[in-house]
A and B are shown apart, each in its own frame.
Chain A
Amino acid sequence: NAGVTQTPKFQVLKTGQSMTLQCAQDMNHEYMSWYRQDPGMGLRLIHYSVGAGITDQGEVPNGYNVSRSTTEDFPLRLLSAAPSQTSVYFCASSYDDRAKKGYTFGSGTRLTVV
């Protein structure tokens, strides 16, 4: 019963490098999303997906790409990392986007861009 699994837990990147943050869920949830958490800002939605093959932008999408080729996986790609992308990233999923039973969150990826 893994829930939402995020890898890696920690990552340090140099400015301009690229990387992919992985997110996988085993609950057959249709809805998945990525948030970033910054001090004093709460959580802000980056991208979300309501099902395989369907993605859309959230509040702060610039600098990030996503794809959803399977129900289980929702990777987040940083094409050219910038110091402003230093943050803690959370992946979340739910049965559907209405999420009346709440979202299930992963344990987060702490990213530092130097």
Chain B
Amino acid sequence: GNSVTQMEGPVTLSEEAFLTINCTYTATGYPSLFWYVQYPGEGLQLLLKATKADDKGSNKGFEATYRKETTSFHLEKGSVQVSDSAVYFCALSHSGGSNYKLTFGKGTLLTVNP
């Protein structure tokens, strides 16, 4: 079936460090790929997305490229801030029969220290 695997956390970085959170997927066809962010005590917010191979999603300094050859959608940011501390979820949207469903990875907790 369809699934998302993202790197286990927690990840702890110092401010201005480079961030990579790995995400790989298993899916038939051509799913859409997403990164969601969850700040403490809040619901999930869409961070960025890519709907076809080689698309690059970007937002708030974060980037991820849809790599079909490696079935990956790794999240990167060149210089993290304390305010980026949150849980990050990789997800894919796929057709499970007659309807599309969103499948999430288990989430990666990021803590950025000043």
The answer to whether B102 touches A42, judged by C-beta atoms less than 8 angstroms apart, is: no
Whether, in the assembled complex, A64 has its beta carbon less than 8 Å from a beta carbon of chain B, the answer is no
Chain B: interface residue total (CB-CB under 8 A): 22
Closest Cβ of chain B to A69, distance in Å, is 19
Closest Cβ of chain B to A5, distance in Å, is 11
B49, B89, B102, B105: the one contacting A45 at CB < 8 Å is: B102
The answer to whether A42 touches B104, judged by C-beta atoms less than 8 angstroms apart, is: yes
Interface residues of A toward B: which range? 20 to 34
Task: Map CB proximity to B onto A26-69 as digits: 1 under 8 Å, 0 otherwise.
Answer: 00000001010000111111001010000010100000000000
Whether, in the assembled complex, A73 has its beta carbon less than 8 Å from a beta carbon of chain B, the answer is no
With a cutoff of 8 Å between Cβ atoms, the chain B residues found around residue A90 in the complex are 43-44
Give bound CA distance, A4 to B7, whole Å: 30
Mostly, the B contact residues are strand
Across chains A and B, the number of contacting residue pairs, with CB separation under 8 Å, is: 59
Q: Given A40-B106, A42-B106, A107 and B101 touching (CB < 8 A)?
A: no
Give bound CA distance, A25 to B63, whole Å: 29
Give bound CA distance, A35 to B105, whole Å: 13
Closest Cβ of chain A to B43, distance in Å, is 4
Binding site for A on B (CB under 8 A): 32, 34, 36, 41-46, 49, 51, 89, 93, 99-107
Give bound CA distance, A108 to B43, whole Å: 6
The answer to whether B43 touches A100, judged by C-beta atoms less than 8 angstroms apart, is: no
Q: Given A40-B106, A41-B106, A100-B32, A105 and B45 touching (CB < 8 A)?
A: yes
Q: Which 10 residue pairs are nearest across A and B when measured between Cβ atoms?
A: A102-B46, A105-B43, A42-B106, A97-B100, A42-B104, A43-B104, A105-B44, A107-B43, A97-B99, A98-B100
Whether, in the assembled complex, A99 has its beta carbon less than 8 Å from a beta carbon of chain B, the answer is yes
Q: List 24 A-B contacts (CB under 8 A).
A: A33-B102, A42-B104, A42-B105, A42-B106, A43-B44, A43-B89, A45-B101, A48-B99, A90-B43, A97-B99, A98-B32, A99-B100, A100-B93, A101-B46, A101-B49, A102-B36, A102-B49, A105-B36, A105-B43, A105-B44, A105-B45, A106-B43, A107-B41, A107-B43
